[in-house]
Amino acid sequence: MADLHINNLRMQFSGVVALDNVSFSVSGGEIFSLIGSNGSGKSTLFNCINGFNRPQKGTIEFDNINLLSKQPHEIIQSGIARTFQNIQNIPFMTVLDNILLGAHHRIDSKATIKRWLSRSQREAEEAMGLEILDFLGIANYEQKYMTGQPYGIQKLTEIARALVGKPKLILMDEPAAGMNDQETQEIAKIISEIRDELGITVLVVEHDMSLVMSISDRVCALDSGKILAMGKPDDVKNHPDVIKAFLGDSDDA
Ligand code: ADP
Ligand code: MG
């Protein structure tokens, strides 16, 4: 399975050092979580992995490919999908069509023209989209328009769009943000199933500590762009620096 290796990463925005000498590896098949207070660099790390941000120093390798030499669409093609902190669905399209947007990267530029002529290709994509919706338990939303759908459905649609491209690694930025307890438990189950049943490696940023602790093989705590602690969930949770920095008496990690 494909591994992710991040080495000595530094990302600076004018005066702000968002990531400072960050190194870690994620093995294929792991569920690996990033925690840290707002502004600690979690989303910036995702942006470096998927090519939106260009770090000044360091290396990122996935599946033996140097990601820093690749464009965002090439990084998707290498098998890395992402869901965003803010929902990115298109309101005037159906749930299924929103999902199929994620399938298009599998078609190369020459085939892009052909695909509009190929009914069988469209049908194959739709079947795949439906399979993913079924996997997520929202198959009955297939033909519904995105507009006005509950928040939970919007979030699941985002996840479905990432999965339909058959990634090897999925980056999930705050998948449970804004969800109630029941929806959060459902997301925890889905994340575990994404790894267990689809065999996809999961890198997740999440504030909900009970979710992080229940699903993760390993956890990495960031603070002001630096790694504070990394290891098994309980070890990180009980690490004195982590407690001091952001666990304290709040659950906003
Ligand atoms: P987190 O996701 O952990 O809340 P971010 O990675 O979004 O944190 O942000 C880390 C730091 O980098 C913050 O100080 C943020 O303001 C800064 N930052 C992130 N992206 C940019 C950008 N495009 N331009 C300038 N500063 C940025
Ligand atoms: Mg963020």
Domain boundaries, given as residue ranges, for the chain: 1-79+168-253, 92-166
36 lines ligand 1 (CB under 6 A): yes
As a whole number of angstroms, the distance between CA 176 and CA 187 comes to 7
Q: What is the pLDDT of residue 206?
A: 93
Measuring from atom 7 of ligand 1, which residue has the nearest CA? Answer: 43
Question: Ligand 2 centroid to 11 CA: how many Å?
Answer: 15
Q: What is the pLDDT of residue 44?
A: 97
Q: What is the pLDDT of residue 105?
A: 59
Q: Which amino acid is at 219?
A: V
3-state helix/strand/coil string of the chain: CCCEEEEEEEEEECCEEEEEEEEEEECCCCEEEEECCCCCCHHHHHHHHCCCCCCCEEEEEECCEEHHHCCHHHHHHCCEEEECCCCCCCCCCEHHHHHHHHHHHHCCHHHHHHHCCCHHHHHHHHHHHHHHHHHCCCHHHCCCECCCCCHHHHHHHHHHHHHHCCCCEEEEECCCCCCCHHHHHHHHHHHHHHHHCCCCEEEEECCEHHHHHHHCCEEEEEECCEEEEEECHHHHHCCHHHHHHHHCCCCEC
Q: Which of 227, 228, 229, 225 is nearest to 11 (CA)?
A: 225
Measuring from atom 22 of ligand 1, which residue has the nearest CA? Answer: 13
Q: What is the pLDDT of residue 192?
A: 98
Angle at 31 (CA atoms; ends 29, 37), nearest 5 degrees:
155
From the CA of 44, give the closest atom in ligand 1: 6
Q: What is the pLDDT of residue 85?
A: 83
Q: What is the pLDDT of residue 247?
A: 56
Question: Ligand 1 centroid to 224 CA: how many Å?
Answer: 10
Question: Ligand 1 centroid to 107 CA: how many Å?
Answer: 33
Structure tokens at 74: 């090439």
Structure tokens at 65: 């490919």
Q: What is the pLDDT of residue 197?
A: 97
From the CA of 47, give the closest atom in ligand 1: 6
Write the pLDDT tens digit of every residue in 189-208: 999 999 999 999 999 999 88
Q: Which amino acid is at 85?
A: Q
Most informative mutation of 10, 11, 12, 13 for ligand 1 (most atoms within 8 A of CB):
13
Question: Ligand 2 centroid to 206 CA: how many Å?
Answer: 9
As a whole number of angstroms, the distance between CA 61 and CA 225 comes to 20
As a whole number of angstroms, the distance between CA 65 and CA 101 comes to 25
User: pTM here?
Assistant: 0.91
Strands 4-13 and 57-62, how do they pair? antiparallel
As a whole number of angstroms, the distance between CA 44 and CA 18 comes to 7
Q: What is the pLDDT of residue 121?
A: 80
Q: What is the pLDDT of residue 246?
A: 72
Most informative mutation of 10, 14, 16 for ligand 1 (most atoms within 8 A of CB):
16
- Where the chain has pLDDT below 70, the residues are 104-117, 247-253
The highest-level CATH class for domain 1-79+168-253 is alpha beta
Which CA distances in Å does 237 have to 82, 189, 241, 251? 26, 21, 10, 11
Measuring from atom 17 of ligand 1, which residue has the nearest CA? Answer: 18
Q: Beta partners for 5?
A: 25, 61
Measuring from atom 15 of ligand 1, which residue has the nearest CA? Answer: 39
From the CA of 222, give the closest atom in ligand 1: 3
Q: What is the pLDDT of residue 1?
A: 76
